[in-house]
Amino acid sequence: MTEKGILAYFHSPAEAESILPKLKALRVIDVSVDKIGQFAGGGVSESINPLTGNFPGLSYLTLGAEGMDIDSSILAAANADASGLSAPRASDGSIEDYGGINGLDTLLTVVVDEQSYDQALRVIRDAGGQA
């Protein structure tokens, strides 16, 4: 059997996860839901005192960006998102429309048998996903 992959974008992880039962009924081979962003890292998950803490830079403090070389870290810190002064934000703190993605910052990755490919695409599109 031949496998095909689908990359679909949603507005939230909950929206993408809501169709997992339907996709599993199609006997998908593999599926994952991931939040994507402009910078590597999982976001800020702890409070660090910049006066006393040991941290790699502003992009780590404000964006949770990790694993960057010094040049990338400087560029990330210069981004408006690092200061929060000019990036449009929703009430939950997420970016409303950064770079034209219209809030589609959740990636659903599906590996499905070729025979179920069209059905899986239909399920994704009916749920508001963009594939």
Query: pLDDT per residue over 12-40, tens digit each?
Result: 889 999 999 999 999 899 999 988 766 55
Place 115 in a pLDDT band, splitting at 50, 70 and 90: very high
Q: How many percent of the chain have pLDDT more than 70? A: 56
| Phi, psi angles (nearest 5°) of residue 75 | -65, -40
Which pLDDT score is estimated for 118?
Answer: 94
In this structure, is residue 97 part of a structural domain?
A: no
Domain containing 29: what range? 1-36+105-131
Place 93 in a pLDDT band, splitting at 50, 70 and 90: low
In this structure, is residue 99 part of a structural domain?
A: no
Tell me: do 83 and 66 sit in the same domain: yes
The conformation of residue 114, written as its DSSP 8-state character, comes to: G
CA–CA gap between residue 19 and residue 81 (Å, rounded): 31
Inform me whether the pLDDT recorded for 49 exceeds 70. Answer: no
How is residue 41 written in tokens? 């890292």
Which pLDDT score is estimated for 100?
Answer: 47
Inform me whether the pLDDT recorded for 101 exceeds 60. Answer: no
Place 45 in a pLDDT band, splitting at 50, 70 and 90: low
How is residue 49 written in tokens? 């005192």
In this structure, is residue 9 part of a structural domain?
A: yes
In this structure, is residue 79 part of a structural domain?
A: yes
